[in-house]
């Protein structure tokens, strides 16, 4: 029986560490083609190298999901490389581990942008392609 996920194209935001990196390594074992997106290029390249060393296929795109141009560049690079987008794993996130009155208001705005606005903007960037 063939693997139904083999060859699927997955964009993973926040792919340079934690859940994103672990997910990339796992999905690569299932034969998925991955676009790995994150701000930290050095870590992103390491995850990409890990994926490829295990026989997977990865495209590393430095992406700051707070930047709309970066989001569109990530989506376009995925299309240019793989010709399609099947899954968006909107994983990039930010959290502050402090009591509310001690958190800088700019940090709160940044957290909301990454954890909410950027999630919506990433979906908007890939949905037209996915729906086709």
The three-state secondary structure class of 30 is coil
Q: What is the rounded distance in angstroms from the CA atom of residue 129 to the CA atom of residue 67?
A: 20
Q: What is the rounded distance in angstroms from the CA atom of residue 45 to the CA atom of residue 13?
A: 14
Q: Which CATH superfamily is domain 9-131 in?
A: NAD(P)-binding Rossmann-like Domain (3.40.50.720)
- Give the residue extent of every domain in the chain: 9-131
Residues of the chain with pLDDT under 70: 1-2
HSE, side-chain direction, 13 A CA sphere, residue 116: 6
Helix (H) or strand (E) segment spanning residue 9 = strand 9-13
Of 45, 67, 78, nearest to 121 by C-alpha is: 67
pLDDT for the residue numbered 96 = 87
pLDDT for the residue numbered 6 = 85
pLDDT for the residue numbered 119 = 97
What does pTM read for this prediction? 0.93
The three-state secondary structure class of 11 is strand
pLDDT for the residue numbered 15 = 98
pLDDT for the residue numbered 4 = 79
Q: What is the rounded distance in angstroms from the CA atom of residue 45 to the CA atom of residue 36?
A: 9
Structure confidence by residue, pLDDT tens digits, 60-69: 999 999 999 9
Structure confidence by residue, pLDDT tens digits, 20-42: 999 999 999 999 999 999 999 99
At residue 81, φ and ψ (nearest 5 deg) are -80, -45
Region of 7 (left: φ > 0; alpha: ψ -120 to 50; beta: rest) is left
pLDDT for the residue numbered 14 = 97
């Amino acid at each position: 029986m063939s693997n139904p996920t083999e060859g699927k194209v997955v964009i993973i935001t926040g792919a340079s560490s934690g859940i994103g990196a672990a997910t990339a390594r796992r999905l690569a074992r299932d034969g998925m083609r991955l676009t790995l997106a994150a701000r930290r290029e050095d870590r992103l390249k390491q995850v990409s190298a890990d994926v490829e060393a295990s026989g997977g296929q990865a495209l590393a795109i430095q992406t700051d999901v707070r930047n709309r141009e970066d989001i569109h560049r990530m989506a376009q690079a995925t299309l240019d490389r793989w010709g399609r987008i099947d899954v968006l794993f909107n994983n990039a996130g930010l959290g502050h581990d402090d009591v509310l009155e001690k958190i800088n208001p700019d940090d709160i705005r940044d957290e909301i942008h990454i954890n909410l606005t950027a999630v919506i903007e990433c979906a908007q960037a890939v949905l037209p392609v996915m729906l086709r």
